[in-house]
Structure 1
């Protein structure tokens, strides 16, 4: 199972880097477009369209890393007062709902991709982008998120079955304040020593 999670983490990192590059390029493109408008009264044309695609694609491909790194946000006012077993059950239930929700979005997303393919849809802009291209990449990001979520639930369920509830909690629960502080301290120590955290 550790190989599955190692593969899941590698895949999530690829998605995270891909998403980050897209968002960076979108910001760069918009910055160039703004400067061209300001100083040369011209525009690249289509920068807003491409930036919109980049944000959608970057988000769909980055969500898996946020899930595996436990960077997602939950409102846990009552959660912290529940017994550990109930918290773990709620975590599994919450991740299951999360994955189910994005699974439904992926199913409907495929319908959109298929319709764009069949009708040869193009954007109503100067670029006339075939919409199936960004939609397909967006859909693949959603599928990747769902697969990563399924791997995470399977991993947690196997840990629970082996009697390793604490390890399952570390895999799927939100990070505690102590974990956040510990990570920051590790990061700062890594920076001070000149090495990687």
Structure 2
């Protein structure tokens, strides 16, 4: 009998709590979100000259849209978006020896033809970067161009970025019998901050 009574009391108690929850007050809570993502471009190098140049388009808008979709955020819920860093990595390397390369990676917006330097690399070992992401210091002008493109995307624009590798020196010097052949990837690291408003029930 006592066991049945306890069970009834527990059931009644749960019923009271559920009825309170169904009619409770709801408070709005603003949650700040910090989201990260990456957008990359790959370059194929196969040259017999120390000076070579390659370009690739970065799908910046698509990547930011993916980041927002993953958190169910709209553009109007984003406070800011900015470039948090850039690195490069060699994906494949052909040949029997290493190369030391020096040059720069530039960026332009919307096929304007106005490239600005994003970073420079000096005596970079290709072999050392094979499968290892290499960070590099960035120029203020390059960062500013990308950040402005991100801000314009949030405002409704559709900016397109192009990265350009401009290599100026290779050691040892490549030749027809010993070309420099490798693929590498440049990655832009992005950070987005936003806010979401949630309805939180106040039980007590």
Taking structure 1 as the reference length, the TM-score comes to 0.26
Q: RCO (CA 8 Å, sep 6+): is it higher in 1 or 2? A: 2
* Greater C-alpha radius of gyration: 2
**Higher strand proportion (structure 1 or 2):** 2
**Higher helix proportion (structure 1 or 2):** 1
Taking structure 2 as the reference length, the TM-score comes to 0.25
